Structure 1
Amino acid sequence: MSFQDLTTGSDALNERPDWLSAFPFIRQHWPAVIKIRQRYPLLSDYQVIRDWQTFYDSNQSIGLSACLRRFRQTRLAYIAAQDLDQAVGRHLTALHAVSDLADTLIQQAYHAAVSEMTARSGVVRDAQNNPQYLHIFALGKLGSGELNYSSDVDLVFVYEQGNCSDGQKSLEAGRYFNRLGQKLIQLLDQYTDEGRVYQVDMRLRPFGTVGPLACSLEALQHYLLHEGREWERFAWMRARQVAGDQTTGERILAAIKPFIYRRHLDYSVFESLAKIKADMTLFTDYEADDLKYGLGGIRSVEFVVQSLQMTFGGRDETLQGVSIYNQILQLYEAGKLSAADKDILMMGWLWLRKSENTLQVVNDQPKHAFSFPDGLKNHIARFFNQADWHAYQHQLQLFRNQIDVIFRHLFADIATAEVALTADEQRLINEKMAELPLQRLPKSTSEKVYGVLQQAVLIGRNAQSVQSQSSRLHAAADPEGFHEDNKTPVIAWQRLMQVIRAIVKRPSYLSMLVKEQPVLVALLRLIQKHDYVAQTVARFPVLLELLFEAHDLPQELTLEWLQQSWEQQRMPVDDVEQWMEALRYFKLSTQFLIICDWLNNKHGHRHTCHRLSRLAEFILKCVIEFSHRETCEKLQPHATSIINSQQLMVIAYGSLASGQMKLSSDMDLVFVIDCEVISNEQRYFMQRWVKRITHHLNARLYHGHLYDIDLQLRPNGNSGSLVTSLIEFTDYQKNRAWIWEHAALIKSKLVYGTERQHKLFKQLRHSILSRPRQPDDVHQALDDMRNKLVKTDSEHQLEFEVMAAVLIHSHAHPELAEQQYLSDMFTILKDLKLLSTQHTLPAPPIPVN
Structure 2
Amino acid sequence: MTTPITPLPHTLITHLALDAAAVDHIQRLRLSTAEPESVVHHLERCSLHLEGELLSHWQHVLADSRWRRRMILALGNSPFLSNILGRWPHFLAQLFHQPMDWTLDRYKAIILEDLLATTDQNVAEQRLRLHKHLAFLQIGLWDLTGEATLEETTKHLSYVGEATLEAAYQWLERHFASRFGSPMVVCDEGGTPQRARFVVLAMGKFGAYELNFSSDIDLIFLYDCDAGQTDGKQSITVKNYYVRLGRELMQMISRATAEGMVFRTDLRLRPDGESGELALSVRSAETYYESWGQSWERAAMIKARPVAGDLALGEAFLKNLHPFVYRRFLDFGALESIREMKKKIDHKVNNADTYGRNIKLGFGGIREIEFFVQSHQLIHGGREKRLQDRRTVPMLDTLATLGLVDRTTADFLASAYRFLRTVEHRIQIVREQQTHNLPDDDRGMAQLAARMGMPNRESFLAKLQGIRQRVHEAYDNLFFDAERTRQDELSNDARVEALLSTSTQYEQEKTRAILSQCGFHDLDQALLSLKLFKLGPQERALTEAGQRWFSRLAPLLLQGVLDAADVDMAMQHVEKFLQTILHRTNYLALLAENPNLLGLLMPLFGSSPFLSRHLIQHPSIMDSLVGLDFVTIYRGSNEMRQELARAMERAENEEERFNALRMFRNTEMLRLGIRDLAGIAELQEVMAALSAIATVVLEQAVMDAMSDMVERHGPPMWSDAQGQRQRARFMVLGMGKLGGGELNYSSDLDLIFIHTSQGDEQYTEGERSISNSQFFARMAQKVISTLTTLSQGGKLYEIDMRLRPSGASGPLVTTLESFAKYQQNEAWNWEHQALIRANVVVGERHSSEQLKQVIRHILIQPRQIAPLREDVVQMRERIYQEKRPKPGVVDIKQTRGGIVDVEFLIQFLVLAHAHQHPQLLQRNAPRALLAIRRAGLITPQAYQTLEDAYRFYRLVENRLRLHHDRSENAIHTEDSVTLARLARLCKLESGPALLEQLTHHFAAVQPIYATHLGPVAGEAPV
Partner of 2:904: 801
Q: Which moved more, 1:93-102 or 1:77-86?
A: 77-86
Aligned-partner residue type, residue 17 of structure 1 = L
Partner of 1:662: 744
Please list, as runs of the form range in 1=range in 2, the aligned pairs for 1:265-664 lying within 5 A after superposition: 265-278=330-343, 286-289=351-354, 290-338=358-406, 341-342=409-410, 345-361=413-429, 364-368=432-436, 379-388=447-456, 392=460, 396=464, 399-416=467-484, 425-431=493-499, 435-438=530-533, 439=535, 440=537, 441=542, 448=549, 451=552, 501=575, 502-503=577-578, 505=582, 507-516=585-594, 518-519=596-597, 541=619, 548=626, 550-551=628-629, 558-564=636-642, 573=651, 580=658, 583-595=661-673, 597-599=675-677, 604-629=682-707, 635=712, 639=714, 647-664=729-746
- Report the CA distance shift for 1:817/1:175 in structure 2 as closer, same or farther (over 3 A): farther
Larger Rg: 2
Distance of 1:558 and 1:622 partners within structure 2: 16
> What is the CA distance between 1:61 and its match in structure 2?
4.5
Provide the aligned C-alpha RMSD in A. 5.4
> What is the CA distance between 1:307 and its match in structure 2?
0.8
> What is the CA distance between 1:236 and its match in structure 2?
1.5
Partner of 1:484: none
Q: Which moved more, 1:333-342 or 1:111-120?
A: 111-120
Please tell me whether the aligned partners of residues 667 and 709 of structure 1 are also in contact (alpha carbons under 8 angstroms): yes
Distance of 1:178 and 1:674 partners within structure 2: 76
Report the number of matched residues: 813
Please tell me whether the aligned partners of residues 561 and 570 of structure 2 are also in contact (alpha carbons under 8 angstroms): no
Partner of 1:138: 202
Distance of 1:797 and 1:765 partners within structure 2: 22
> What is the CA distance between 1:554 and its match in structure 2?
10
Tell me, yes or no, if structure 1 residue 148 matches structure 2 residue 212. yes
Please tell me whether the aligned partners of residues 85 and 383 of structure 1 are also in contact (alpha carbons under 8 angstroms): no
Task: Choose which of 947, 950, 962 in structure 2 pairs with 1:843.
Answer: 950
Task: Choose which of 799, 816, 834 in structure 2 pairs with 1:709.
Answer: 799
Partner SS state of residue 437, structure 1: helix
> What is the CA distance between 1:507 and its match in structure 2?
4.8
Which structure 1 segments of 5+ residues have no match?
Answer: 462-488
Partner of 1:67: 127
Q: Deviations over 1:746-774 (max 9, x none)?
A: 43221111222122212333455549796
Distance of 2:588 and 2:476 partners within structure 1: 19
Please tell me whether the aligned partners of residues 115 and 167 of structure 2 are also in contact (alpha carbons under 8 angstroms): no
Distance of 2:411 and 2:937 partners within structure 1: 66
Q: Deviations over 1:251-295 (max 9, x none)?
A: 654443332223433222211212333455676663242554444
Partner of 2:854: 764
Q: Deviations over 1:658-705 (max 9, x none)?
A: 211012112222333322235663566556644554454345678766
Distance of 2:443 and 2:85 partners within structure 1: 14
Distance of 1:655 and 1:490 partners within structure 2: 30
Q: Deviations over 1:613-655 (max 9, x none)?
A: 123212322333345445556x4xx746789998221122221
> What is the CA distance between 1:605 and its match in structure 2?
2.9
Partner SS state of residue 202, structure 2: strand
Please tell me whether the aligned partners of residues 348 and 396 of structure 1 are also in contact (alpha carbons under 8 angstroms): no
> What is the CA distance between 1:163 and its match in structure 2?
10
Partner SS state of residue 259, structure 1: helix
Q: Which moved more, 1:117-126 or 1:652-661?
A: 117-126
Aligned-partner residue type, residue 757 of structure 1 = S
> What is the CA distance between 1:38 and its match in structure 2?
1.6
- Larger relative CO (CA 8 A, sep 6+): 1 or 2? 1
Distance of 1:284 and 1:699 partners within structure 2: 63
Please tell me whether the aligned partners of residues 269 and 311 of structure 1 are also in contact (alpha carbons under 8 angstroms): yes
Which structure 2 segments of 5+ residues have no match?
Answer: 1-28, 34-60, 503-529, 719-725, 886-893, 962-1022
Q: Deviations over 1:386-430 (max 9, x none)?
A: 455576566545544544444333222455558599998345324
Partner of 2:152: 93
Distance of 2:479 and 2:163 partners within structure 1: 38
Distance of 2:809 and 2:278 partners within structure 1: 70
Distance of 1:582 and 1:630 partners within structure 2: 17
Aligned-partner residue type, residue 73 of structure 1 = H
- Output the TM-score relative to the length of structure 2: 0.65
Please tell me whether the aligned partners of residues 123 and 131 of structure 1 are also in contact (alpha carbons under 8 angstroms): yes
> What is the CA distance between 1:657 and its match in structure 2?
0.8
Distance of 1:158 and 1:645 partners within structure 2: 60
Partner of 1:747: 837
Distance of 1:254 and 1:513 partners within structure 2: 30
- Report the CA distance shift for 1:102/1:559 in structure 2 as closer, same or farther (over 3 A): same
Aligned-partner residue type, residue 852 of structure 2 = K
Identity of aligned residues (%): 22
Distance of 1:101 and 1:150 partners within structure 2: 12
> What is the CA distance between 1:72 and its match in structure 2?
1.9
Partner of 1:486: none
Distance of 2:692 and 2:602 partners within structure 1: 29
- Report the CA distance shift for 1:808/1:34 in structure 2 as closer, same or farther (over 3 A): closer
Aligned-partner residue type, residue 232 of structure 1 = E
Q: Which moved more, 1:327-336 or 1:720-729?
A: 720-729
Task: Choose which of 296, 301, 307 in structure 2 pairs with 1:236.
Answer: 301
Please list, as runs of the form range in 1=range in 2, the aligned pairs for 1:664-679 lying within 5 A after superposition: 664-676=746-758, 677=762
Please tell me whether the aligned partners of residues 601 and 674 of structure 2 are also in contact (alpha carbons under 8 angstroms): no
- Output the TM-score relative to the length of structure 1: 0.77
Q: Deviations over 1:553-597 (max 9, x none)?
A: 899865334445657899955665665555555544544454555
Partner SS state of residue 305, structure 1: helix
> What is the CA distance between 1:843 and its match in structure 2?
0.9
Partner of 1:31: 89
Distance of 1:161 and 1:727 partners within structure 2: 71
- Report the CA distance shift for 1:626/1:499 in structure 2 as closer, same or farther (over 3 A): same
Please tell me whether the aligned partners of residues 649 and 753 of structure 1 are also in contact (alpha carbons under 8 angstroms): yes
Partner SS state of residue 213, structure 2: coil
> What is the CA distance between 1:384 and its match in structure 2?
2.2
Partner SS state of residue 18, structure 1: helix
Aligned-partner residue type, residue 763 of structure 1 = Q
Partner SS state of residue 733, structure 2: strand
Distance of 1:363 and 1:413 partners within structure 2: 38
Partner of 1:103: 162
Distance of 1:202 and 1:722 partners within structure 2: 71
Partner of 1:186: 248
Partner SS state of residue 153, structure 1: strand
- Report the CA distance shift for 1:182/1:761 in structure 2 as closer, same or farther (over 3 A): farther
Distance of 1:287 and 1:597 partners within structure 2: 51
Distance of 1:318 and 1:422 partners within structure 2: 35
> What is the CA distance between 1:146 and its match in structure 2?
0.6
Distance of 1:163 and 1:746 partners within structure 2: 77
Distance of 1:157 and 1:249 partners within structure 2: 10
Distance of 2:150 and 2:932 partners within structure 1: 73
Partner of 2:324: 259
Please tell me whether the aligned partners of residues 648 and 674 of structure 1 are also in contact (alpha carbons under 8 angstroms): yes
Q: Deviations over 1:496-530 (max 9, x none)?
A: 75675435625545545554555556667888999
Partner of 1:213: 279
